[in-house]
Amino acid sequence: QVRLVESGGGSVQSGGSLRLSCVASGSTPRLYSFAWFRQRPGRAREGISGINSDDRTVYSDSVEGRFTISRANAGNTFYLQMDSVKPEDTAMYYCAASTYISAYHSLSMPDFRYWGQGTQVTVSS
């Protein structure tokens, strides 16, 4: 059984920074794609960034240039560095992992079998 645990959420002022972490543990199969999704109030969950085991990355337009996804060299730990945050970044953030190497690019929710419980990020103006 795979377990993903996020940490690092909280409250931050507009223009500030926050770093989210996600650790996968348990009987993990080989994981090839890792991603961050978020669900803003009143909106559907959306993929915002992905990284694969070759460290190829992708970002949604809404976070490109402000957020950075990275992965620990060994193990199943990955991060989301959030800089220049805006009030519209307020959301519940979820990490996800997949055994599909291309899932990081599509950011399609059905391709991600493993999910964290979510961590709240609130940005005040």
Q: What mean pLDDT do residues 81-109 have?
A: 96
Judge whether 8 and 120 are in contact, CB under 8 Å.
Answer: no
Using a pLDDT cut of 90, give the percent of the chain over it: 86
1-10, 23-32, 48-57, 97-106: least confidently modelled range: 23-32
- The whole-chain average pLDDT of the chain stands at 94
Q: Residue 115: which of 10, 2, 7, 20 has the closest Cα?
A: 2
What is the predicted pLDDT for the residue at 1?
Answer: 79
Q: pLDDT band at 124, cuts 50/70/90? A: very high
For 30-65, b where at least 16 C-beta lie within 10 A, e where not — what string? ebbbbbbbbeeeeeebebbbbbbeeeebbbbeebee
Q: pLDDT band at 2, cuts 50/70/90? A: confident
Judge whether 91 and 123 are in contact, CB under 8 Å.
Answer: no
> With 80 as the cut, is the pLDDT of residue 74 above it?
no
Q: pLDDT band at 76, cuts 50/70/90? A: confident
